[in-house]
Amino acid sequence: MTNPRVVRAREAMATRGIDRLLLSVGPDMPYLIGYEAMALERLTMLIVDHENDPVLVIPELETPRVEPGSVDIIPWGEVDDPIDLVVARCKPGETIALGDHTWARFVLALQDRVEAEWVPSSPVMTELRIRKDPEELDLLRSAAQAADQVADRLATLTFSGMSERQLSRWIDDAVVEEGSDAPGFSLVASGPNGASPHHDSGDRVMEPGDVVVCDFGGLVGGYPADTTRTFVIGEPGAEQTGVHALVLSAVEAATAAVGPGVAAEEIDGIARTVITEGGFGEYFIHRTGHGIGREGHEEPYIVEGNDTPLEPTMCFSIEPGIYLPDRFGVRIEDIVTVTDDGVEVFNTSDRSLRIVG
């Protein structure tokens, strides 16, 4: 077994007294072996221990999806019980780490059949995933670049008369046209909907005077972009301009503070102080950012209480926002990475309040 990520996973397991790692849906499996399980009711499970080569228990009909030679597979047929195949490889009394996104139905079925100490995989997998290798940094850069092209194209569109959902579909198509392998997500929150940070793009038709938050990104090689720019339909009012400028100041101050050794929560505190001193602290209702990599949201979280010191190659979002209920919202989001002596910002599209039709 020469897969270096598996070697590192075993080292991290050993440090924590973990005998076995069972991974299913979610980012850990593709991170380790390049194969992503389908999020369906047929169990796919990667088994990693200290003695044997990793094996992948997989529905027989999905075996053609696995790159030949990339991992040993144990296919199961439609009338087999995949839990049997996993249980047969576990030993009573072991400490077994379960992939964070594994479905409860499989967790409970395994617990029912194996007397073990069950722990989450996240400490092991976060240790591996929180720092990125050069290939991962390139994928995140490429994904950001495609999203930035879309952000700049957005500024040339006429939003007025389009529904949020239509614009969201346009963005999904555009990120693929600009080089993403697949659309990831696209949130369009217009007018009062902008005050909902996780608004679902809906049927609201945009109109002059709307501030419009567009938060989106496609995937490149399994790695996501995630950027937010805020637009206004027609000339902005003074408050819209002022709120946007304040959020932009918070982004700039937080970004400038990024560097090795700085605690994640310090970055949050800096963005929050700018917005609070500007008089809008109570309307900045979420953390400043989240790590990004094989998973759209991962460690390090840029939030009060997280004293993790930033290290080179960690990647995360800086995305302060101000949300005025029933009125409008503004958010600006970049993905950044920590360098040896500071920060590299992956997103370079225009951050100003862009005026659209």
Judged by the rule CB under 8 A, the positions of this chain that interact with a copy of itself are 38, 40-41, 60-62, 64-65, 77-79, 98-105, 107-109, 111, 118-122, 165, 169, 173, 176, 181-182, 195-200, 285-287, 290, 296-298, 303-305
Residue 30 C-alpha from the chain's centroid: 14
| Selection from 305, 306, 312, 304 nearest residue 261 by Cα | 312
Q: How far is the C-alpha of 23 from the C-alpha of 56, rounded, in Å? A: 9
To a copy of itself, the closest distance from the beta carbon of 289 in angstroms equals 11
Instruction: Report DSSP state, residue 86.
Output: H
| Selection from 295, 301, 337, 343 nearest residue 26 by Cα | 295
Q: Which is nearer to a copy of itself, 152 or 181 (CB)?
A: 181
To a copy of itself, the closest distance from the beta carbon of 144 in angstroms equals 20
Q: How far is the C-alpha of 277 from the C-alpha of 273, rounded, in Å? A: 6
To a copy of itself, the closest distance from the beta carbon of 101 in angstroms equals 5
Is residue 300 reached through a cis peptide bond, with omega within 30 degrees of 0 on the bond before it?
yes
Q: Which is nearer to a copy of itself, 148 or 298 (CB)?
A: 298
Residue type, 90: C
| Selection from 311, 257, 317, 310 nearest residue 287 by Cα | 317
Q: How far is the C-alpha of 155 from the C-alpha of 230, rounded, in Å? A: 10
To a copy of itself, the closest distance from the beta carbon of 301 in angstroms equals 8
To a copy of itself, the closest distance from the beta carbon of 126 in angstroms equals 11
To a copy of itself, the closest distance from the beta carbon of 231 in angstroms equals 20
Q: Which is nearer to a copy of itself, 285 or 355 (CB)?
A: 285
Q: Which is nearer to a copy of itself, 104 or 238 (CB)?
A: 104
Tell me the DSSP string of 32-92.
Answer: HHS----SSSS--EEEEESSS--EEEEEGGGGGGSPTTSSEEEEE-TTS-HHHHHHTT--T
Longest CA–CA separation in the chain, Å: 68
To a copy of itself, the closest distance from the beta carbon of 181 in angstroms equals 8
Q: Are 315 and 224 in contact (CB under 8 A)?
A: no
Q: Which is nearer to a copy of itself, 98 or 225 (CB)?
A: 98
Question: Measured in Å, how far apart are the chain's first and last C-alpha atoms?
Answer: 58
Which letter, b or e, does each residue of 162-178 get, where b requires 16 or more Cβ atoms within 10 Å of its Cβ?
bbbbbbbbbbbebbbeb
Q: Which is nearer to a copy of itself, 332 or 349 (CB)?
A: 332
Q: How far is the C-alpha of 75 from the C-alpha of 58, rounded, in Å? A: 5
| Selection from 59, 65, 112, 56 nearest residue 89 by Cα | 56
Report the residue count for the chain: 357
To a copy of itself, the closest distance from the beta carbon of 29 in angstroms equals 13
To a copy of itself, the closest distance from the beta carbon of 136 in angstroms equals 19
> Could you tell me which residues come within 8 angstroms of residue 18 by beta carbon, excluding any fewer than 6 positions away?
95, 96, 97, 119, 124
Residue type, 256: A
Q: Which is nearer to a copy of itself, 94 or 103 (CB)?
A: 103
To a copy of itself, the closest distance from the beta carbon of 178 in angstroms equals 13
Q: Which is nearer to a copy of itself, 199 or 354 (CB)?
A: 199
Q: Which is nearer to a copy of itself, 216 or 354 (CB)?
A: 216
Q: Which is nearer to a copy of itself, 59 or 349 (CB)?
A: 59
